[in-house]
Amino acid sequence: MSKLVPVPSGSMVPDRDLNKKPVLECVDLGISFGGLHAVRDFNIIIGPTEISGLIGPNGAGKTTVFNLLTKVYQPTQGTILLNGKDTHGMNTMQVNRAGIARTFQNIRLFDNLSVEDNVKVAMDAHMKYSMWSGIFRLPGYWREERAAHEKALELLSLFSMEKLANIQAGALPYGAQRRLEIVRALATNPSLLLLDEPAAGMNPSETAELMENIRKVRDALQIAVLLIEHDMNLVMNICEGICVLNFGRIIAKGTPADIQSNPAVIEAYLGKK
C-alpha cells in the first residue's frame, strides 16, 4: 500500500496519485433543507486509483454526500469537480455518464431482469445502435449486443458471477445481489465508484471476500472507490484515506491509523470521556 501524502486544501492522496489529476474534488460542498444544513463545507480530494472511506455515526450525512455527488440532490453550496470538470447543472444521468457510478444502501436492482440484463442495461449509454437496427436486427444490433454480452460476462467474472448470468436478479441470494449491484455500477464505465454500505448484512467471510474484490476491481479497472461503511474492520483494512463526518461536517481526515487515534473521532463515536 502506498503512502498518503498531503495535497493543498488539507486533503491527502496516495503518493502514486500525487501528480495525477484527482478524480474527485469537492470544494465547500453543502446542502441545506430549509434551514437545516445536512452537509456543509465538505472538502475532499480523491486520487484516481484511491480507495477511500466515508464514515461517521448514523445521520451524519454520509448518504447525503453520495446523493450530492450523484445529483439526486442539487447542492446548495460549493462545487464538485469530476476529473477536473465542474458538474454544476448536470443531472443524475449526466453525472453518471461523466464517470460516477454508485450502489445503494438498500439494494435497488431491476428484479425482473436477468443478471446479465441488469449489467447490460447499465451499458445503455455506451451502446449506440438505433431503434431501427434494434427492431430489424441489423448488423449494428448484433455487433453491439455481442460486445455488450462479452463485456457483461467479463465484469461478472470479476465477482465470479458469470454462471448466474441468466438468473432473475430478484431471485439471487442477498450477498450475490450486493455483488451484482457493484457489477452493474461498473458497467457504466465509471472513474469513481461509490459504494453505500457494501458489506451491510454480510457475514465475516463474505466481508473478507468483498474486500478482496474491491481491491481487485480497483487494480483491474484502475478506478477510484469511495465507500460508506460501518464495518470498521473493512474500512481500516482497505481504505487508504478516511474522512469522518459528524452532523454534516468533516471532523477528521487521514490514514486509518490517524483516524483510530483521533480524539474527535473517538468522541463522535463513543461520546465524551
Partner 1 sequence: MNFIIQFVNSLTSGGGAYQFLNHILNGISLGSVYAIIALGYTMVYGIAKMLNFAHGDVIMVGAYVCFYTFGALRLPGPLAPLLAVCAAAAVCTLLGVTIEKLAYKPLRSAPSLAVLITAIGVSYFLQNAALLLWSSSPKVFPNFFVLRTVDASGETAVLRSIQFGSLSISFVTIVTIVSCIVIMLALTWFTGRTKMGKAMRACSEDKAAAQLMGIDVNATISLTFAIGSGLAAIAGALLCSAYPNLVPTTGSMPGIKAFTAAVFGGIGSIPGAFLGGLLLGVLEIFAKAYISVQLSDAVVFAVLIIVLLVKPTGLLGRTIREKV
Binding site for partner 1 (CB under 8 A): 70, 72, 91-93, 96-97, 101-102, 104, 106, 108-113, 117-118, 120-125, 127, 129, 131, 134-135, 141, 144-145, 148, 184-185, 187-188
Smallest separation (angstroms) from partner 1 to the CB of 270: 31
In contact, 255 and 12? CB cutoff 8 Å: yes
Instruction: Compare residues 111 and 154 and give the one whose CB is closer to partner 1.
Output: 111
Beta carbon nearer to partner 1, 1 or 147: 147
Min CB(273)–partner 1 separation in Å: 38
From the CB of 234, what's the least distance to partner 1, in Å? 23
Element (H, E) at 149: helix 139-158
Grid cell listed for 258: 490517524
Return the bridge partners of 51, or none: 225
How near is the Cβ of 260 to partner 1 at its closest, in Å?
A: 33
CB of 111 or CB of 212, closer to partner 1: 111
In the complex with partner 1, the residue whose CB is nearer, 90 or 211, is 90
Cell representation of residue 139: 448488423
Q: Which residue has the cell 464495518?
A: 231
* DSSP string across 82-104: ETTEE-TT--HHHHHHHTEEE--
DSSP per position, 6-19: EEGGGEEEEGGGTT
